């Protein structure tokens, strides 16, 4: 008898460990699987039991509910106020396009057998039968773009690295998921780490790399141990190592842990950090694909990007690109966060509207007070007003709307939010996290926060607003990397979409 109690850190942050403990205490004979989270975080702790008709869910379960669950004979899907029925049938989940997250919450993240039982390694096995060119062609054909935020075509990047002649090359997985409102990387690593490993191995074979690095945040201790455990299993089963699945391919992965620096999510700063140095942004060219980690050709992709690759190889580029709109093909793993009633992972084909995400999936605010603002794409993303809820969620439409998709994080605010304070925070965050290399970001962010503070306090409001807009232009066009260049996005969008918060009038 298997009972699933998520070991995901979001679930554990509200008591999943205690729930698991209570269940184990009640019936030590039960096999409790610590799966990842299904992503319906509003249902955590979501306890599932395996029944002949499928997995039946209860949630949200607290430790105090456990006794009553046993009383209700939940192991046999007994009736209980928390009974959700068959998990797969829950509309919130059933209506999603789970591709990258297909296995998250379903499989035991530490079991390679479970992974294979759910379609794992099919992509890699197919890739092993292809030439490097053919793998890259397939990925190119799928239209997959970098999910870390920049949206760069993955096939093109791989091809550049593949064509370099160096004997040593790197695959670097950027798992420095620092944007507030994003947690998809973490959940994937905690819930289905073999998918990431498989994606990296395929990338390595495609470009001729032998070494992989996953740069993981120190704020994600749970993900670090989950991934390390999976790497060890993968090594023991020749998914990593010197003879991958019995072939002559060689590839291994090391985890390098961040040390509290948002800018290290910028790819060149990440390389510096992996090299053990100050996480300072490098000027490009040279691009990392030619001269990356330790000066060697390097593929840098985000967790979600690499984790989508096995599916593309397994099911074909055509299947993948059937999803999405325009040049935004496939699915995006949206993350609903902040003041949201039903927060969590919503993986949908590009083209879903903001409104669907916020209201259909998110069910509005957690507080129940009216929605006022939505920040899309992390701390460097724009603040959208309720007037913009019909925006189509894809790279191009968001750009047109004055925003950006970023890593797909959507933070919902109710009416209590002060957008001038949020704008100031955007500058403060930049000041706190700037690597300090280029002037617009290094000095500009501090001056920006100071200037917004003056506006809030009603000091020379018009002059300072003009100065702030001038600064935004300098930061946008003058900064060395996206951190400084995008910080004006939340600031300007707040000023434009919520001008009433920038009058300097006391609130």
Partner 1 sequence: MTMIFEPDFGTPASEKLDQVSLEIDGRTVTVAADTSIMRAALQAGIDIPKLCSTDRLKAFGSCRLCVIQIDGRNGTPSSCTTPVSEGMNVITHSEKLDRIRKGVMELYLSDHPLECATGDECELHGVAKKIGITTSRYASVDTHLDLEKDESNPYFTFDSTECIVCNRCVRACDEVQGTFALTIENRGFQARVSSSGTSFIESECVSCGACVQACPTGALTEKTLLTIGAPTSSVITTCAYCGVGCSFKAEMRGDELVRMVPLKAGGANEGHSCVKGRFAYGYATHSDRITQPMIRNAITDPWKEVSWSEAISFAAAGLKKIQVESGINAIGGITSSRCTNEEVFVVQKMVRAAFGNNNVDTCARVCHSPTGYGLGQTFGTSAGTQDFESVEHSDVIMLIGANPTSAHPVFASRMKQALRKGAQLIVIDPRVIALVRTPGVVAAHHLQLMPGTNVAVINALAHVIATNGLIDRDFVDARCDAQSFKEWEAFISLPENSPETLEASSRVPAAQIRAAAHLFAQAKNGSIYYGLGVTEHSQGSTMVMGIANLAMATGNIGRKGVGVNPLRGQNNVQGSCDMGSFPHELSGYRHISNPRTRKIFNDAWGIQLQSEPGMRIPNMFDAAIAGQYRGLYVQGEDIAQSDPNTSHVHTALRAMDMVIVQDLFLNETSKFAHVFLPGTSFLEKDGTFTNAERRINRVRPVMKSKIGKSEFEVTCDLATAMGYPMSYENGAAIMDEIALTTPTFAGVSFAKLDELGSIQWPCDETNPTGTPTMHVEKFVRGEGQFMRTAYVPTDEKATRKFPLLLTTGRVLSQYNVGAQTRRTANNIWHKEDILDVHESDAELRGIKDGSWVKLSSRVGETIMKAHITDEVPAGVVYTTFHFPESGANIITTEFSDWATNCPEYKVTAVELAPSIMGPGDMVETHIMGDPQLDSIVRMANQIAANIPAADAPEIKVAHHIVQFWTPAMIERLHNDVNKTDLSPTVLKAIEILLVRN
Partner 2 sequence: MKFTPWSQDVALALLATLREEKGPVLMALQLMQKEFGYVDPACVGLIAHFFNKSRADVHGVLTFYHDLRTTPPLEHQISICVAEACQAVGVRTLAKEAKARFGDMVNDSFCFGNCALGPTAMVDGKLIGRATVGKIESAFQ
What is the binding site for partner 2 (CB under 8 A)? 9-10, 12-14, 41-42, 44, 177-183, 185-187, 217-223, 256-262, 273-280, 294, 335-340, 343-344, 366-367, 375, 379, 409, 411-414, 417, 422, 425, 429, 432-433, 435
Please choose, from the candidates 308, 314, 310, the residue with its C-alpha nearest in 3D space to the C-alpha of residue 329: 308
Binding status of residue 275 toward partner 1 by CB under 8 A: no
Q: Check binding of 197 to partner 1 (CB under 8 A).
A: no
What stretch of H or E contains 175?
strand 170-175
Q: Which is nearer to partner 2, 331 or 375 (CB)?
A: 375
Closer to partner 2 by CB, 143 or 344: give it. Answer: 344
Q: Which is nearer to partner 2, 158 or 220 (CB)?
A: 220
Give the span between the Cα atoms of 44 and 32, in whole angstroms.
16
Q: Which does 283 bind (CB under 5 to 8 A by kind): partner 2, partner 1, none?
A: partner 1
Minimum distance of partner 1 from residue 436's CB (angstroms) = 3
44 binds, among partner 2, partner 1, none (CB under 5 to 8 A by kind): partner 2
283 binds partner 1 (CB under 8 A): yes
Per the omega criterion (within 30 degrees of 0), is the bond before 60 cis?
yes
Cα(8)–Cα(185) distance, rounded to whole angstroms?
Answer: 12
**CB neighbours of residue 462 within 10 Å:** 9
Q: Which of 64, 399, 432, 499 binds partner 1 (CB under 8 A)?
A: 432
Strand pairing report for 371-376 and 383-385: antiparallel
Question: x/- binding map, residues 446-485, to partner 1, per CB under 8 A?
Answer: xx--xx-xx--------x---x--xx-xx--xxxx-----
Instruction: Please give the span between the terminal C-alpha atoms of the chain, in angstroms, as a whole number.
Output: 58
Cα angle at 121 between 232 and 248, to 5 degrees?
75
> Which partner in partner 1, partner 2, none is near 180 (CB below 5 to 8 A by kind)?
partner 2
Q: Which does 221 bind (CB under 5 to 8 A by kind): partner 1, partner 2, none?
A: partner 2
* Interacting residue with partner 1 among 118, 355, 442, 504 (CB under 8 A): 442
CA distance 380 to 378: 5
The sign of the dihedral angle between the CA atoms of 309, 171, 223, 7 is: positive
Extended beta strands in 188-330, E state: 211-216, 252-257, 298-302, 324-325, 328-329
284 binds, among partner 2, partner 1, none (CB under 5 to 8 A by kind): partner 1
Residue 73: name its binding partner from partner 1, partner 2, none (Cβ under 5 to 8 Å by kind).
none
User: Which residues make Cβ contacts (< 8 Å) with residue 329, sequence separation at least 6?
Assistant: 142, 143, 144, 145, 320, 321, 323, 350
C-alpha distances out from residue 206 to 111, 133, 304, Å: 26, 7, 18
Question: Half-sphere exposure of residue 210, counting CA atoms within 13 Å on the CB side?
Answer: 9
Among partner 1, partner 2, none, the one that 339 touches (CB under a kind-dependent 5 to 8 A) is partner 2
Nearest to partner 1 of 39, 279 (CB atom): 279
Q: Binder to partner 1 among 26, 76, 278, 318 (CB under 8 A)?
A: 278
Q: Which does 41 bind (CB under 5 to 8 A by kind): partner 1, partner 2, none?
A: partner 2
Contact criterion met (CB below 8 Å) for 69 and 82: yes
Residues at the site binding partner 1, with contacts judged by CB under 8 A: 261, 263, 278-280, 283-285, 430-440, 442-447, 450-451, 453-454, 463, 467, 470-471, 473-474, 477-480
């Amino acid at each position: 008898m298997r009972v699933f109690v998520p070991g995901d850190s979001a679930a554990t942050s509200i008591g999943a460990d205690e729930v698991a403990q209570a269940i184990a205490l009640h019936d030590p004979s039960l096999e409790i699987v610590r799966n990842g989270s299904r992503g319906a975080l509003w249902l955590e702790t979501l306890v599932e039991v395996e029944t002949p008709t499928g997995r039946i869910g209860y949630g949200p379960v607290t430790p105090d509910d456990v006794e009553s669950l046993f009383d209700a004979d939940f192991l046999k899907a007994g009736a209980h106020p928390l009974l959700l029925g068959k998990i797969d049938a829950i509309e919130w989940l059933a209506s999603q396009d789970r591709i990258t997250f297909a296995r998250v919450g379903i499989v035991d993240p530490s079991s390679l057998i479970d992974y294979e039982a759910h379609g794992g390694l099919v992509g890699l096995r197919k890739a092993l039968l292809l030439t490097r060119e053919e793998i890259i062609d397939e990925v190119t054909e799928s239209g997959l773009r970098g999910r870390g935020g920049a949206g760069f075509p993955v096939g093109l990047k791989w091809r550049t690295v593949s064509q370099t002649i160096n004997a040593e090359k790197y695959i670097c997985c950027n798992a420095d998921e620092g944007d507030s409102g994003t947690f998809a990387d973490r959940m994937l690593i905690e819930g289905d780490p073999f998918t990431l490993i498989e994606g990296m191995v395929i990338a390595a074979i495609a470009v001729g790399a032998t070494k992989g690095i996953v740069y993981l945040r120190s704020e994600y201790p749970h993900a670090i141990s989950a991934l390390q455990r999976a790497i060890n299993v993968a090594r023991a089963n020749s998914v990593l190592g010197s003879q991958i699945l019995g072939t002559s391919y060689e590839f291994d992965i090391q985890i390098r842990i961040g040390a509290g620096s948002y800018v290290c999510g910028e790819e060149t700063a990440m390389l510096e950090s992996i090299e053990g140095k100050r996480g300072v942004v490098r000027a490009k060219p040279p691009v990392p694909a030619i001269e990356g980690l330790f000066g060697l050709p390097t593929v840098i992709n985000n967790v979600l990007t690499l984790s989508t690759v096995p599916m593309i190889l397994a099911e074909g580029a055509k299947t993948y690109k059937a999803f999405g709109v325009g040049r935004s093909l496939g699915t995006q793993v949206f993350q609903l966060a902040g003041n949201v009633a039903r927060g969590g992972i919503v993986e949908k084909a590009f083209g879903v509207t903001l409104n669907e995400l916020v209201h259909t999936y998110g069910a509005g605010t957690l507080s129940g007070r009216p929605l006022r603002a939505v920040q899309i794409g992390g701390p460097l993303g724009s603040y959208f007003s309720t007037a913009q809820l019909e925006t189509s969620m894809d790279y191009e439409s968001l750009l047109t709307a004055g925003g950006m998709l970023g890593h797909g994080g959507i933070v919902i605010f109710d009416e209590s939010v002060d957008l001038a304070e949020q704008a100031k925070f955007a500058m403060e965050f930049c000041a706190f996290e700037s690597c300090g290399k280029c002037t617009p970001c290094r000095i500009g962010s501090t001056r920006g926060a100071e200037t917004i503070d003056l506006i809030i306090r009603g000091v020379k409001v018009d002059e300072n607003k003009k100065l702030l807009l001038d600064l935004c232009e300098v930061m946008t066009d003058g900064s060395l990397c996206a951190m400084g260049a995008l910080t004006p996005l939340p600031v300007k969008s707040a000023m434009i979409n919520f001008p009433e918060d920038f009058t300097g009038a006391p609130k």
